[in-house]
Chains A and B, each alone.
Chain A
């Protein structure tokens, strides 16, 4: 198998759009990726042919919907190499997955316990633990970030001790693109018996989430950053941990028996899936993973690396531009500031030229404070981006620089 970016682009109808007469150059993939036609078709097909409530209907549509829904769970299981399909919980996305875990953790923590998160994390993977500690009286610690945008591993090692109950970090930093050494970090935490959660929102899109290899207890990610639909995501939890984890929402589907006085809970995965699940989006997320996994992963990785290398080279030669986040191991994310021009100005003037980037604090205010910037402009690449689009970014940035000088 080889990698033909033109053929990939053909599968994404939105890439044919124009913005103010310019071809759309979509470089905001860390926020959300676009969807290939097969994913859009999977959604339409579900609603066209077999929409029904799952697990409960005694009719053909319910059978078909249930089969497709559970088949999507199997696709996720394979994708992350989970030992059991029951460990795959459907959520609305990464944020909900983290909150399900944090909700349980809050009642398991007591004063004296310690929780470790990091200074580079998305607010979803920071505030959640910070607040769980506040509510339970546990101590909250954060791993500092180095000048290059990596987690300070010595500081992390020094933070761990017998009181460390829970550790959370991101697979990949959304704001900087840094790939964290999650396997080593997990192993260190496990020496002290802590539970480990990995925020895979940015990592899963690269197909590197092998939960057995990582050794963590929880891995969370979203469909929409993985060429799938919005509003669907996955919480994977180790069965031995998850089966005793306090339940989150109560309601239909998640119960086993109910009397007016009490209730018992259903088995995994259903004990965490109260109410009618998002069947159509789960099926389409399964299709997105199937589609992504069918690509030559080595060629995909090489293409993304070529995009990042080219962008980094142009950025380093660009007068008045400073890259924020220069970790050795990065995904295709180029976060930067310019001498003249606030990130919001840069983002706006790029948009006017058809180039979509994200600007702002990237939901990581402490990280922006760490680098003493109000925010950054961030170009993030996906498999359908081209080297020509990277060139277009820097042509447009020249105009931005002239206008803001």
Chain B
């Protein structure tokens, strides 16, 4: 399964006038994420927010054009957070460490009018996941 690109997402979401359609899209995106392996549900892979939890399993692959790219499998017990993780992956999955470090995720969420989900007060673990992905990219860049 391939995720939509960030450009696709910006295009798709710009069609929706009302919030319900927009969030149904995010919920559907969450449902379309590949299943997370149950064996990966361990404390090291868990980012516990006070409202919902997020899991992340990092990996890497060789890309014929770009060389080594980082891959991430993610999950959340909350479907909207899972959808928002889909947005994060559309931007940061299968990217080189340099691409990950250069990508401005806050600006991306702002362009979708979803920036408040990245705020530290939401307690949904999303911000911590983005930081973790950036740290992994930093450590191999």
How many A-B contacts at CB < 8 Å in the complex?
45
Partner pick for B23 among A342, A344, A349, A360, CB 8 A cutoff: A349
Given known A-B contacts A344-B80, A344-B124, A359 and B24 have beta carbons under 8 A apart: no
Partner pick for B51 among A20, A352, A359, CB 8 A cutoff: A359
Pairwise interchain contact B51-A375, C-beta atoms closer than 8 A? yes
Which residues of B14-31 have CB atoms within 8 Å of chain A's CB atoms? 19-20, 23-24, 27
With a cutoff of 8 Å between Cβ atoms, the chain B residues found around residue A344 in the complex are 49, 51-52, 77-78, 80-81, 124
Given known A-B contacts A342-B52, A343-B51, A360-B50, A399 and B20 have beta carbons under 8 A apart: yes
Q: A302 interface residue, CB < 8 Å from B? A: no
Q: B10 interface residue, CB < 8 Å from A? A: no
Which residues of A306-363 have CB atoms within 8 Å of chain B's CB atoms? 341-345, 347-349, 352, 359-361
A399 CA / B18 CA spacing, docked (Å)? 14
With a cutoff of 8 Å between Cβ atoms, the chain B residues found around residue A20 in the complex are 19
Pairwise interchain contact A404-B51, C-beta atoms closer than 8 A? no
With a cutoff of 8 Å between Cβ atoms, the chain A residues found around residue B24 in the complex are 403
Q: B79 interface residue, CB < 8 Å from A? A: yes
A235 CA / B7 CA spacing, docked (Å)? 57
A345, A349, A352: most-surrounded residue (chain B CB, <10 A): A345
Which residues of B59-86 have CB atoms within 8 Å of chain A's CB atoms? 77-81
In the complex, which residue of chain B has the Cβ closest to the Cβ of A341?
Answer: B79
Query: Chain B interface: which size bin?
Result: 10 to 19
Given known A-B contacts A360-B50, A360-B51, A360-B123, A345 and B19 have beta carbons under 8 A apart: no
Q: Smallest CB–CB gap between A37 and chain B, Å? A: 27
A133 CA / B73 CA spacing, docked (Å)? 41
A403 CA / B24 CA spacing, docked (Å)? 7
Pairwise interchain contact B77-A361, C-beta atoms closer than 8 A? no
Q: Smallest CB–CB gap between A20 and chain B, Å? A: 7
With a cutoff of 8 Å between Cβ atoms, the chain A residues found around residue B80 in the complex are 344-345, 348-349
With a cutoff of 8 Å between Cβ atoms, the chain B residues found around residue A341 in the complex are 79
A170 CA / B102 CA spacing, docked (Å)? 50
A342 CA / B50 CA spacing, docked (Å)? 13
Pairwise interchain contact A345-B50, C-beta atoms closer than 8 A? no
A229 CA / B7 CA spacing, docked (Å)? 46
With a cutoff of 8 Å between Cβ atoms, the chain A residues found around residue B81 in the complex are 344-345
A-B contact pairs, 21 of them (CB 8 A): A342-B52, A342-B79, A343-B78, A344-B49, A344-B78, A345-B78, A345-B79, A345-B81, A348-B80, A349-B80, A359-B51, A360-B50, A360-B51, A360-B123, A361-B50, A374-B52, A374-B77, A375-B51, A399-B20, A404-B27, A404-B79
